[in-house]
Structures are given as C-alpha cells and as structure tokens.
Structure 1
Amino acid sequence: MAQLLVLSSARGDGVALPALELLGHGVRQIPAEPAQLVNAPSADVIFVDARADLAGAKSLCKILTTTGLEAPLILIVTEGGLTAVSPDWGVDDVVLVTAGPAEVDARVRLAVGRGEKDQVSTRIQASGITIDESSYSAKVHGHPLDLTYKEFQLLHFFATHPARVFTREQLLSEVWGYDYFGGTRTVDVHVRRLRAKLGDLEQLIGTVRNVGYRLNVYEDDQSPARPNA
C-alpha cells in the first residue's frame, strides 16, 4: 500500500481524483498552497490537482521540483487541460480525472517502481565505499568523507571503474577534462589528499608502479579495517 498526497485547491468534500477512494492506498489531501508544503506529510507519490487552475498547478509543480522533491509527481487534469501540459512542468506522469481505479493504481505502481529504481541508481558501492550521486557525498563503512568537488569526482570515477588501472594522463582527461591545462602532478596531489581523508583506508586507492592508480577491490570479509567509531 502506497502513501499518496493530493494537493488540491478545489473546495468541497471528496478527493480530487475519485478513483483513489476506491483503492487501498493511504490518501491525504491538503490545500495546493506553498505554505502547506512546509508541514506536508511524507508520501510515496504526490498528485497535483490541475483541473480548475492550470497556471497555479504549474507554478506549484515548479516549486516542488526545484526544492528537491523525491516523490514522483502526477498531474490530475481534465481532457481539455492536457493541451497545456509540457515538459517544463517537471511532472512524472499525467492522469485524467475520469480515469478508473485500475488505471490509477497502475500509474501509482509504475511511479513508485520508477522512483525506487532511480534511488538505487544514484548510489554506488565498491570496497566499502558508498557514493550518493544525487547529493555528491561519499561514505566509507558509514563514515562520511569531507571531500571537495574534484576529490568527489576522482573517487566517483575510481568507484565506477573498480580494479581498473588508469594512467595519470587518463585520469586527467576523464576527471579534469581535455580543456584542463594543468599537468599530471595535479592527479598525484588529489590522490594524496584523497588518501589522507580516507585515513586508515588509504590503501583503497592503490598505486601501480610506473603506470598509475586504481581502486582496489575487496570482498566484505577482506576489506580494510573499519575506522573506529
């Protein structure tokens, strides 16, 4: 059972999307006002009612998407309102107010499934390192790392290519880009800083003599000792 939140400016009783009342999901409906979003309950899927106020709904959708919304966003529209919807609304799906329970339930399931898939795809794990691509953060065995943006990029590149050896020139072009005019010593400096921040786990980034660097791959029972809590 999914938790659904409906944002509606319509007055009167009843849910903005009637089919929701015939399903087994938990449904909460609150006024479609920015002020209401501060204390809005958490939800697996958010529905925005655009039946009567397309301009207001579009503005609300943009607010939701620019404030880091994680839940999928589904727009409730009338047949005539479909022509006004465009990609810049930022919604994940559109459903007609006349849609039946089976269709609405299918859209909810698909939205939740896509959200779970996207959440998994933003996390990378390798040799005890967990990287969250969406927040540009990294942890080693649950301990957060205080990385600069370029250090994060370098660690991210290693983690997405575990055990592969890269020359300094390759790392420079892949992480810094072809238009970077600095020398390969930049790579050595950043590797050294990254190792220092890894502390006892500095050996995760291995040196291959006369070649370059790689991320060492360990099984769970072979990974380097965890830092003390």
Structure 2
Amino acid sequence: MSNVLLLTGAAEQPADILPSLSLLPHTVRVAEASLAAAVAGPVPDAILVDARRELVQAKRLLQGLRGQDRDVPVIVIVTEGGWAAITADWGADDLVLQTAGPGEVEARLRLALGRAAGVAPAGSGELRSGDLVINEITYSARMHGRAMDLTFKEFELLKFLVQHPGRVFTRAQLLQEVWGYDYFGGTRTVDVHVRRLRAKLGAENESLIGTVRNVGYRFVPAKGSGGREGRDGGGLSDSQADGTPDDGTEDGTPDDAAAAPATGGERGKVPGTSRKGAQPAHADR
C-alpha cells in the first residue's frame, strides 16, 4: 500500500476523477492543483495530477514539481482527447486514462514507484539505500526526497558507511578513513558525528547507523532497499550486532561531553566545485 497525493482543481471525489483508484488499497490524499499544496505536508510515494480539463495549468504544475528536490514519481490523469497533448517536456513519469481499469492503474503506479527506488544508472554518482540518496558529485544527500543539511565530514562519514553496508568499523578505523592519517583528535569525534547524523536522519531512520557495542558502527540498509549500495556485504550477524543507536562513546561518556578534538581542526580533502544548483555539504567548523 502506498501513499498517493492527488492534485486536482475539480471539486470531485477521487472515485470521480480516477474511478479505479478507489478499488486499490492505497491511501489517497486530495489537494489543490498548486505547487504550494503539492509540497505541503508529508512526502507522498507518488503524485497523480488531474489533467482531464486544464491541460495548460497541469503542465505548469508538473514542470514546477520537477523543479523540486524530490524523487517522487508523477503520473498524469488524462482523457482520450488529451492523450495526444502530453509530451516529454511535461516532465511526467507516466500517464493514465481516466477510464483505465484497476489492474492498469496499479501496474503504472507499481512501475513508477519501482523506477523511483531502483538502481541508479552507472556513472550517475549516486549511492542509494531505500529512501536515502547520496550524490558523490554534488556532495549532497537526500532522505525521503528532502535535502539533508550536512557538514563535509558528516557527508563523508555517511557516504563511507553506506559504501560498506553491514561491515563493522571501529572508531579508530573510521577516524583514519574519513579524517585521515594526519588527524590528531580523539576517536570521540566519531561519536559526535554519528550522533549528529542520526539526528539529521530523523527518529524513523536513525537506526540506519547501527552501534556494535564496544566495537564501533556499521550501516544497516533498510529492508528491501535497492540501488547501488556499497562494496561489502559482510559484517556481524544480528546476534552479534544490532542496529539500534546508543549513547555511543567508548567509555560511556554522553555524546554531549565528547566535544571537538583537543588539537587540530577537521582536515581533509576539500570538495571540488559543485554543479550549478547543487547544495554541497558545507565544511565543518
């Protein structure tokens, strides 16, 4: 079952706009056919745009949706007369006739959702794990289609863990891999950054970074996630490690006490110029 957002300018029920939709086990939320209404509220799994009558308005809405930093598939609902008006510049992922049967509507939704969550094409520079998308080219990350505000080291740490799903790393190993050999701070820096990452991932996703008590951390892929995930499938079994976060420092000291390292700043490679329009992770202070 998916959460579907239906954008329409008509004062009608979903069953009148796309009759077959009422026969499917999806949760449908109806909103005004405007960009403001589309981006308000929780991010849906798919968006249906009612283009049965106002083709010009629907086209503008779709183009506006494509300008948003969201990976949500958009399907246009059209009549037989409006079918020929839909072109590639609309930015729609698919279209469906108002009279389509439930089997066809379900198939189009399923395929659109599958493409959105599928494997990133080779050379795209993206790592995917479920709803988490990391772009190695623009130094940016998104969760559920929303941009995450990460510092450079937070981004590097998250990327490194995602590249090696299931593999357990000690704090010393993470410090060496992410901060480099010339970093002189203590390993508590890793705990602080993990705590910040979990907070930015949100309560529903903080368990993606699992704690292996008295050892370190590992990335725990979401169940059923696809995409270009990392190189290693190893790691401890569930009986040896869990994905639940804990206070996390080596000696039991709360994370808040694990302040910045005693000496030196966070040194390391500096990202190159980002593509225009990207939101690169900014440097740690």
**2:32 matches 1:26:** no
Match of residue 111 from structure 2:
110
| Residue aligned with 2:107, SS | helix
> 1:137·1:145 contact (CA, 8 Å) conserved in 2?
no
Match of residue 8 from structure 2:
8
1:28-72: per-residue Cα shift (whole Å, max 9, x none)? 111102232242432111000000100000000000001123110
| Residues 201/46 of structure 1: CA separation in 2 closer, same or farther (3 Å cut) | farther
Distance in 1, matches of 2:28 and 2:138, equals 29
Match of residue 137 from structure 1:
140
Q: Give the AA of the match of 1:4.
A: V
| Residue aligned with 2:118, SS | helix
In the TM superposition, what is the alpha-carbon distance from 1:119 to its structure 2 partner?
Answer: 6.2
In the TM superposition, what is the alpha-carbon distance from 1:199 to its structure 2 partner?
Answer: 1.7
Q: Give the AA of the match of 2:135.
A: D
Which of 193, 198, 202 matches 2:178?
198
Answer 1 or 2: higher relative contact order, Cα 8 Å, separation at least 6: 2
Larger radius of gyration: 1
What RMSD in Å do the two structures reach over aligned CA positions? 3.8
> 2:120·2:128 contact (CA, 8 Å) conserved in 1?
no
1:109-166: per-residue Cα shift (whole Å, max 9, x none)? 11111111056972079xxxx953475338xxxxx6628xxxx9xx99xx8xxxxxxx
Greater helix proportion = 1
In the TM superposition, what is the alpha-carbon distance from 1:200 to its structure 2 partner?
Answer: 3.7
| Residues 57/22 of structure 1: CA separation in 2 closer, same or farther (3 Å cut) | same
TM-score under structure 1 normalisation?
Answer: 0.58
**2:95 matches 1:94:** yes
Q: Give the AA of the match of 1:68.
A: D
Once structures 1 and 2 are overlaid, which stretch shifts more, 38-47 or 54-63? 38-47
Match of residue 72 from structure 2:
71
Q: Give the AA of the match of 1:123.
A: L
Match of residue 53 from structure 1:
54
- Which residues of 2 match residues 208-219 of structure 1 at below 5 A? none
Greater strand proportion = 1
In the TM superposition, what is the alpha-carbon distance from 1:77 to its structure 2 partner?
Answer: 0.4
Alignment length (residue pairs): 160
In the TM superposition, what is the alpha-carbon distance from 1:14 to its structure 2 partner?
Answer: 3.7
Identity of aligned pairs, percent? 39
> 2:51·2:76 contact (CA, 8 Å) conserved in 1?
yes
> 1:5·1:41 contact (CA, 8 Å) conserved in 2?
no
Distance in 1, matches of 2:13 and 2:34, equals 18
| Residue aligned with 1:80, SS | coil
TM-score under structure 2 normalisation?
Answer: 0.47
> 1:4·1:44 contact (CA, 8 Å) conserved in 2?
yes
Q: Give the AA of the match of 1:61.
A: L
Q: Give the AA of the match of 2:82.
A: G
Distance in 1, matches of 2:57 and 2:177, equals 47
> 2:127·2:134 contact (CA, 8 Å) conserved in 1?
yes
Structure 2: unaligned runs, 5 residues or longer: 142-149, 164-175, 184-230, 237-248, 256-285
Match of residue 83 from structure 1:
84
1:173-205: per-residue Cα shift (whole Å, max 9, x none)? xxxxxxxxxxxxxxxxxxxxxxx99324679xx
**2:127 matches 1:123:** yes
Q: Give the AA of the match of 1:146.
A: F
